[in-house]
Structures are given as structure tokens and as C-alpha cells.
Amino acid sequence: MSVSVSMPENPEVHDHLKEARRHWLKFLKSNWVIYSWGVFFVLSTAMLQVLVTRLLGWVLDFFTKDPLPKFFYGASEYDTFLRLFVFLVIARCVLFFSRVGWRITMARQTHVASSELKVNIWDNVRFFKSVDLVRHFTKGILMNANTSDVARGRFIYGFTLVAIFDMLFLGLFTLGTMISIHAPLTLISLCVLMILPFFVKKLSHLEMTRYRTAQETLGDFNDLTSQVVSTIRLQRITQTGEFWSKKMMASAESYRQKRLEAVFTSLRYIPTMGGGYVLSYAVLFFVGIPYVLKGDISVGDFVAMQGLIFLLQDPLAELGFIISEWKKSFTSLERLSEIYLHEQDPHLGLEGDELLDTQTVLDVESLSFKYFDGEENVIEDLSFNISAGKRLGITGPIGSGKSTLVRILSGIERQFEGDVSFMGRPFNDYSHEFLRTLIGYVPQKPFLFADTIRENIRLDRDLDDEQVWHFLEMSCLADDVRQFPEGLGTPLGEWGINLSGGQKQRLTLARALARECQLYFFDDCLSAVDTVTEERILKNLNQQLKSETLVWVAHRPSTLKYCHQILELES
Amino acid sequence: MSQVKKKKTFLHADEQSEEGIRKFKLSDMASFKKLLHFARPYKSGIIFGLSLMVVSSLTSLISARMMGLLVENGLLKKSLSTSFNYSGLVIVFEVLSLGCMWQGRKLLTDYSSQTILSIREALFNHLQNLPIGFYDRQPQGRIVTRVTHDVEGIEEFFTSSMGRVLNSAFMALMAMMAMLVTDFRLGGILVISVFPAIFFVYVTRDYVRKVNRNLSRTNSALNSKLSEFLSGIEVIRIYGLENWSKEEYDSYVDEYRTSHLNANNLYAWTRPLVALLCSAPLIGLVWYGGNNILTGAMTVGLFVTFVRYCERFFNPIMTLAREIHMVQQAFTSAERVASFLAHAEEDTVLGEDGKLAPKGMEGSIEFNDVWMAYDSKNYVLKGIDFKIRKGEKIGLVGTTGCGKTTTVSLLSRLYEYQKGDILLDGHSLRSYQRSFLRQQIGFVSQDAILFRGSFRQNLCTDESVPDDKVLYACEVTGLARVMRLGSWTLDSEIFDGGANLSVGERQLLALTRVLIKNPTILILDEATANIDPWFEKIIHQAVDRVMVGRTCLMIAHRLSTLDHCDRIFVFEKGQLVEEGSKSELEEKKGHFFNLHQAQEAVE
């Protein structure tokens, strides 16, 4: 097996948050060159942004004849102006390159990390125990991990880092410049602005929660819509359309309310942010103007102060966002770590032995089984064996454990008591992949991938069209497929055509046959196929799979007519 | 790789095949106007909201002018009282501007969301009025996308982007006018200097759109892949496809990654470039102002005012440049939704609705030489002729595609027939009111639609029907017994799709539902297939009881279920080839006999 199945010795005590931090730091370390460049570019962006604002202030000072830094004074007035101007142009152009710079270094890592996080999800989930996928990591949770958790978690690998450095540098430079102009005024303005991060953090959290609620309501609405569209024909015939329209309307209205709440929360940034700078303007005016009139601050400096306060507002608001973002990101990464560290099904990682040369395909000795949440045994003390090329029938009422028995005999369910050996060895002596090439299983409920008919049969095997047709012939689906305009290339699923229940069952049968196994389990897999076609299929299989061993589960006695042995289970 | 690409195209054929829409294409502007009709009831509210936003831009500009005056008249003239007066004004106008902006956008969002709700309502009604033929031709996914995703596109724009866009547009416009009024020549130059930025955004718009669409395409493709693998984990386990599934999944992540990095690369230089282009005029202003102030042609106050105007002109332009793809997206979505709403409804396709809705129907049916084609070329019914008396039980048999399902669908007026006529109680089917007609027909198919709700709600959506009547029907069909066994009451909950019920229980519920509706004609489409033996007996009993006093048509594959039929119709290739009672047909040794033989042989 090409993948390593790492198993922590005791997953229960593992600290997921620690793991999330570890992964994050490891990622940062292994990409340290890119991140260093990123820091450099964020730094230069911040510097240049402040410099441009400062230069505009100096230009104004020059016009009002206020003193400038010595460096700018030239031979003539015009010369001085020229120097100021050239600096302004250069600073502005370099700013452009700096901005491009951090986007193609640090910010880019957001997407690189998100791909890695996504790859890791399936890399681990594919080996989870079936029981865990039903009980703990349900589809909803894993889908959510793949979308929301990755979407939020990825930011601390890139954009959030940009924001942190930007806030730090811009904040410090702005503050530094302001202090160099007038320290007392700076401190007073800063005190007023410091309330901003607090409010922004709160608001951002609220906004996030409300958007999530809105998104969940939207999900319900979309599910309902799919359901309504897929059943529209029956609604028309039974005249229940109005009822469903009303249901959809109610769902749409509840989504509207939730979304409106979320958008209104976003709009609260207008008074929050605006309030911050209006307040600091007020302070600047009423404390600063007397300084200007006294001559402590030049007019140009005063105008620059106003601009700088405007600039300082951004990093301070950013601080609020970052605090809330940081928490959310790590919570998401923590949830992802739970997936990455979760225990995998041990039998999927086993090393395997070769096959023994034996005629007994399956040997069952006093087999008993009960469900993880059940109290009584579903299967009690069962013993029998099958030899190569034989056909075994299993029948019995609903709930008598037919499907469970088949899952055990095919080596999928391994939590049982007693002994089951396949070709002379217990299942655990074989590697998972090897075993699966030997044992085929066609379940009751057909599952097809949203792909073409051809790809659904080929899967990982390299079959040409001729072979694909052969297996379709065997399962009596070839005639149906020939009638589709696109033949083997006919797409299935939501965006393709809908096969009937019987057609789906026959296609899953063809897919199993295409794997050319030695032992097949057919778990009531022709229940929706009409009896005439069923008979043709049974005949085909019986004739063409002479040396293979077949196990049939069915209600209808007609399905079991070719069996050598019949196992009748009682409930 | 090309193989992988090819495999993925059909999944999102919809988003790429713009060609398909072209046929129905309304121009962007026309579709937008069409959708604006839905905003009509909220006109005054929307206009009020917009006015508040205009006022906000205006006051914000006044505040900028006050700032200039503060410097010129207050600070430079060293007057404390004048300075304080002006700073007071700056703050008052800033606060006013913020307040108007906040409330204006709230109003606008509220009314927009109501407009969107009206659009959704129109779509829901449209879904119910589109002819069934429409659903046969369109993939389900596309229809769902129209009603969900495309409306979300419009909604996203109207409830969040539009406020920002309009606000920026007002700001830019006001600043432009202020500049032109203050100094026409200088203002004019500055306004013109915004063109490089606009030109750049215009030139790159299609590319940006493509990149964005690619983002959402790869995103949803990856999500559906994961969802598919999770649903099919059993199959993956059974065939040992763990590594194959990883390769597949990783190839989707690769596409996702490429599309995101492409977008990142694009924004990496376009965003800073637009910012640069937008700041160029400010630099130009410094150059122009500098030269003029040095010669005394311009005052410092005017220069400060213009610097502030420039900020208020170019910042909104930058916002507009960023939002432009949202606007484009909204137009595309609007176009799709409007085209969808333009598809012909039943009234056009099936002709004007009939008026007939008599009390006390008999239920006699007559097909007179009926011809029917789904596509107006290939007839699937070729001259069907038969009479069914009131209360008769008819079995319909034949192989797949023989026309039995079509025959039944015509009775419910799901499709139009081209030649001949169908009479119900002696009147042409076309003269009946369609909804009345469908009320008269009870339909039970292989799978019942159940939704999350109580048994009561699932049995009868009409709340005016008394519980007694519902309970009585349950007793008649035997559902009451099954409910007692499972200790369910009428108020017990049924999960989505009836997940907590067995196939037999669901079917029994569907039969009870029909009994409560009390139709004149009953159609059973393979209603007893797929049921385990224990339930089969109960269901058969229920069917017998529900059939009493009604004209019944039963479609069946398994001929043994037709024992109770008075007559059996045998269909083949769109024609009625045999009819008669079961024993007559068996003696005749014709088509029915052959079908029967084939099944006998296997059972």
C-alpha cells in the first residue's frame, strides 16, 4: 500500500489544537523563504504608504513656506519642488511593486495551504471505519469541514499574516510619524481610537454567526427546491403543487429574514468605523487647533495629522478583525485535525499473504454477530463451507441478518465472533487491496458515480470499450445503453440521464463483473429487474462464471434456482 | 489529463454552454428591466433610500469643503473662533453623512430583499405552471440552479453590492461636479485622467469574469466529488478503490488549486495597478498645482480642497473597479432568470384551460383514434381506440416504451395529443378545467413523495379535512393497524423522504392518501412492485378496498397482479394490440399469452 497509515497510540488524549498549531508552524517553516519575502513586501508597502502621505504634507508645507526636512532644499525654489515631486512619483511606483509583491508571496500561501488541507481530508477519511462515518463523521460534518473549515482555516496561512504584519508596520509607522509631528496630540487621538478594535471584534463575531445561520437556512431552502423540482411530475398529477409552493415560500421568507439580519449586521460597520474617526477628528480639532494657532504645529502638519488619523483607523480596525479571525481559524483547524488524527480502520492497512491452493473458498466455524448498539445476536453459532465453483443461496425474512452475513462473509465487516476463513486463511492475513480483487459484492441499493456509463464500469481498471460492452451484455444492459444517443459516454446523475431502478441495478452488476473476482456476493441486487430479464441474467452468470463461486441473497425463489446449497435464515 | 478534463465537462455543462441560452436570450438590459418590475411595489421606499444616499454623498463633500475653508480662513488667518466654527461644521456634516448612508443602505437592502422574494415567488409559480414536457427535456440540475444559484447571484448584488456601487457612484459623481464647479479647467483635466483606469477595467472585464467563473466551477466540482465519494464509500471499500479515489480527488483539488492561484495572480497585479492608475491624477495635481502656486496662479486653499476632492473621486472609482464583476455576475444571473421565466407555460402549450368542472363525475373514458408524439415527429401512440365503462378495472401491460405510461399521462393532461380525441363522461378532455381534472384522478406510483412532517400532514395537506375522516381512511386501508404496530399516531413525525418508514409502509400511506382525496379515476403505476411478501398481502387488500366504486387503470409488469382486472389492454409499439379478460386472452394465445409464458417460465 502506497499510503502510510499513521495511527497515534492513544488518539483520545491527543490535543487537536496542539496538532493544528504544529501543522501551521511546520507549513510556515518549510516555506520560510516565501514568507520572508512576504514580510519584506508588507513592510515596504507600509513604509511607502506612510511616505506618500508624508510627502503630500511636505508639498503643502512647501507651499505655505513652512520648514521642510533639509534634504529636500535645492538650489532654487523650483528645484526644491522638483525634488519633492520626483520622490513622490518614485515612492508611488515602488508602492505598486510592493503591493504586487506581498500578493504573489504571502497571500498566495492561503490557496496553497487550502489545497493541502483539502487533500489531507480525503487522504484520511477514505480509511475511516464505516461505523465512524455513520456515527461520528457524518457526511454533513465532513462536507462542512471541506468547505467552511478549510475556507476559514486557510487564512492564517496567508491573508491573516499579511494583515498582522500590515497592521503592525502601518500602525507603528503611522504612530511614529504622528509622534514626530506632535507627541501629545498623537497620544490623545490614539486613546480615542483604541476603542475601535474592541467594537470591531465583537461586530465581526456577530456578523460571522449571522451569516452562518443565513447560509444554513439557504441550504435548507436549496434542498427543498431540489426535492420540489425532482417530484414535480407527481405534484402535477396529484395537484399538490400549491402546497409545495407554499412550503418553498415559507422557507424563502425565513431565509430572507436571516440574510437581512446578517446584512444589517455588516452595515453596522458604517457607524462603528465612522464613529471612530469622527470622534478622533473632534479631538484633533479641539486639542490641535490651538497648537496650530500657537505655532506649535504647522498647517501642513495639521493636515497631515488628519490624514494619518484616517490611516491609523485601518490598522486599528484590522486588529479587531485579526483577533476574531485568529480564533476562528484555529477553531476550524482544530476540527480539521480531528479528522487528520482520527483512528483508521486497522484492517485496511494490513500487510498481506499470498493465496493458498485450496478448494474450500469459505469456511465458517461457529459464527456469531451482534450490532455495536444491539444486545442480542443477529447471527448465532453458524457453521458451513463452500467450495470453488459452487452457488450458494441465502434466503429468509426481513431482519434475519442476510445482508449482515454477506458483509461478514465478504470480509467487509470484521467485528464478529467465531472463525471465517477465505481460501484457507482468515481475512486479516490478506491485504485489503488484494482481498478486494478476489471478492466482489453487489449491494442491494445501487450506487453510481456522477460520471459516464463507461467510467462507472471501468473505475480504476484499464478496460477498452469492447470489454465494457461484454460486461454490459452479461448483465443484459447492453440493449438499453445502445438506445441512449451517447452510448457508453452517456452521463449519469443530476446533470445526466436518470436510469430506472432496474437499470441501475444491472449497471452495478456489470461493474462488479468487470472486476473479474473469484467469489461474488449478490445481495438481492436484481429486486427491481423484471423476472424475464432476471432469468436471462441468471443464465448468463451461471454459464459464464463456471469456475467462480457465487452467493445469492434473494426473496424470490426464482432467483435461487441455480443454487447448489440454500441457507435459510430465521428471524 | 485530457481524459480527466473531458470527464468533468458534462458536470458543469450548464455553466459553460452559453449557446443553449442564446436561443432564448434576452439582452442583459431587457432582462434587467424585466426583473425591475418586481421592485415596483417598493418603489417609493427604494427612492427614499436612494435619496438618503445622495444626501450622504453631498454632505460628505460639504464636509471636505469645510475642511478646506478651515485651513484657508481659520488656520492660515490664525482665527480661533473661525477655526472652531468650521471644525464644528466638518463634524456635523460627517455625522450627517454617516447617518444618512447607514439608514439609506438599510432601507435599500430591506426593499431589495423583498423584491428578491417576489422574484422567487414568481419562479415557484412558474415551476408549477411549466408543462411537464419542459421537465423531460431539461436536466434537473439546471432547473434547480435557475431557482437557487442564479437568484442568489441577483440577491448578492441587490442586498450587498448595490449599496456600495451606488454609494461609490454618487460619491464619484458629486466629487466630479464639485471639482468642475470649483475650477472647470483643472476639474476637467482630473475627471478625464480617470479614463485610463476605466479603460483598463473595461478591457480586462471578460478575463476577470472567466477567472471568477472558473473559481466557482472548480469549487463546486470538488465539493460534489467529495459528497459523491462519501455517499459511495461502501462501493469504494468493496472494490478497494481507496487509492483510485484519492487520485481522482487529488486531480479535482489540483484544478481547484490552479484556478485559485490563477485568480490570485490576476488580482496580484490588477488591484495594485488600478490603485496606481487612480492615484496618478493626484500626482498630476501636485505637479500642476505646484507650478501654479509658485507663479501665484493658484491659492493653497484651492490646492488642499482639490487634494481632498481627488480622494473622494478616486477612492469610489477604485471600489467600482473592484465591484464591477459583481455587477456583471448579477446581469448574467438576471438574464438567466428572465429567460427561464419566459419559457411558455401550460396555458400556451396545452391551449387555454377548459371551463368544465361538474359535480359528481361518472368516470367513463373513451379514446378515439388518439395519436401522440412528444416531439411532433415520432408518434409514440398510433391510433389508440378504446372505451372504459364507469367503475371498470383495466390492466395495462406491455414492454417498456410501448405507450402505456403515455396513455395514462394523457388522461391527466400532462401532454397534448395531436390527433383524435379523449372523452371523459362524454366530454372532450380539453373542455375540462385542468386542475379539476387532476383532482378527479388518484395516482399511486412506485415511490411515494413524503416530506418531514406529521403523518396527518403527509396524508392530507388540506387542514379542513377532519381527523375522523383521515382516521377512517387509515382503518380502511389497514394503515391504522401498521401505525399501531409501530406505535405511531397521526402526530408522529415522518423524516425527510419517509426515511423512517419501510417501502411497504410508504406505499400504504400513499394509498390512504388517495382514499382521502376520493378521486373518480384511480391509476396505479407498478404500485405493488418492490414490496416484501409480508406487506404485499396488506397492500393488495388496501388496493382492493381503495378501488371500490372507481374506474381503475393498473400498469403492471408482473402479470400475476392483474387477477382482479375486468379487462386487460396489451400495448405494443404505440398500439393497442389485444384486449379482453385475462382468461379470454390466455385462450387466444396471442401477445398476452406470450408475455405470460415468458414470466411463468421463470417463476
Whether residue A398 contacts residue A561, with contact meaning beta carbons closer than 8 Å, is answered with no
Q: Return all residues near B603 (Cβ < 8 A) that are at least 6 apart.
A: A531, A556, A558, B560
| B21 in any annotated domain | no
**pLDDT tens, position by position, B408-437:** 889 988 888 999 999 999 999 999 999 899
Residues B462 and B329 in one domain: no
| B414 in any annotated domain | yes
Domain of residue B473, residue span: 365-602
Report d(CA B265, CA B277) in Å as an integer.
Answer: 19
Residues B463 and B413 in one domain: yes
User: Which H, E and C letters describe A177-190, residue by residue?
Assistant: HHHHHCHHHHHHHH
Residues B170 and B237 in one domain: yes
Nearest CA in chain A to B128: A241
CB contact under 8 A, A119 and B253: yes
Residues B240 and B337 in one domain: yes
CATH number of the domain that B98 lies in?
A: 1.20.1560.10
Nearest CA in chain B to A87: B283
Identify which of B232, B243, B269 has the shortest CB distance to residue A2. B243
Q: What are the phi and psi torsion angles at B364 (to 5°)?
A: -90, 140
| B319 in any annotated domain | yes
Q: Which of residues 426-485 of A touch B (CB under 8 A)?
A: 432-433, 435-437, 440-441, 443, 447, 449-452, 455, 459-460
Q: How confident is the model at residue B288 (pLDDT cuts 50, 70, 90)?
A: confident
Quick check: B98 pLDDT over 80?
Answer: yes
Quick check: A297 pLDDT over 70?
Answer: yes
Q: Which chain B residues are within 8 Å of A267, Cβ to Cβ?
A: 102, 105-106, 109, 163
**pLDDT tens, position by position, B578-595:** 888 888 888 888 888 777
> Domain boundaries in chain A?
183-296, 360-568
Report d(CA A259, CA A217) in Å as an integer.
Answer: 9
CB contact under 8 A, B283 and A234: no
> Greater confidence, B497 or A60?
A60
Which of B316, B346, B376 finishes a domain?
A: B346
Residues B493 and B545 in one domain: yes
Residues B262 and B381 in one domain: no
pLDDT at A97: 96
CB contact under 8 A, B90 and A410: no
Across A484-494, average pLDDT: 82
CATH number of the domain that B409 lies in?
A: 3.40.50.300
Report d(CA A26, CA A470) in Å as an integer.
Answer: 51
| B358 in any annotated domain | no
Report d(CA A434, CA A515) in Å as an integer.
Answer: 12
**pLDDT tens, position by position, B200-220:** 988 988 888 889 889 888 988
Q: Give how far B244 is from chain A: nearest CA, Å.
A: 6
| Preferred mutation among B77, B218, B237, B559 to probe A, highest tally of A CBs within 10 A | B237
CB contact under 8 A, A111 and B95: no
Q: Give how far B387 is from chain A: nearest CA, Å.
A: 22
Answer whether B109 touches A (CB < 8 Å): yes
Which of B315, B346, B377 finishes a domain?
A: B346
Report d(CA B576, CA B396) in Å as an integer.
Answer: 10
Pick the CATH number of A360-568 from 3.40.50.300, 3.30.1490.20, 1.20.1250.20, 3.40.50.1820: 3.40.50.300
Q: Which chain B residues are within 8 Å of A292, Cβ to Cβ?
A: 75, 83
Task: Read off the pTM.
Answer: 0.78
Structurally, how many domains does chain B consist of? 2
Identify which of A147, A229, A281 has the shortest CB distance to residue B90. A281
Largest CA distance in chain B: 120
Answer whether A219 touches B (CB < 8 Å): no
CB contact under 8 A, A111 and B226: no
Answer whether B307 touches A (CB < 8 Å): yes
**pLDDT tens, position by position, A179-196:** 988 888 888 888 888 888
pLDDT at A34: 96
Identify which of B95, B223, B461 has the shortest CB distance to residue A147. B223
pLDDT at A441: 92
Which of B346, B381, B413 finishes a domain?
A: B346
Long-range contacts (CB closer than 8 Å, 24 or more residues apart) made by A186-195: A188/A283, A188/A287, A189/A280, A189/A283, A189/A284, A189/A305, A189/A309, A189/A312, A190/A312, A192/A276, A192/A279, A192/A280, A192/A283, A193/A276, A193/A277, A193/A279, A193/A280, A193/A309, A193/A312, A193/A313, A193/A316, A194/A316, A195/A276
Task: Take residue B21 and report the three cell numbers written for it.
Answer: 441560452
| Preferred mutation among B107, B128, B298, B400 to probe A, highest tally of A CBs within 10 A | B128
Quick check: A534 pLDDT over 90?
Answer: no
pLDDT at A5: 41
pLDDT at A245: 92
Across B543-568, average pLDDT: 84
Out of A269-278, A302-311, A492-501, A555-564, the most confident range is A269-278
Task: Take residue B218 and report the three cell numbers written for it.
Answer: 472548480
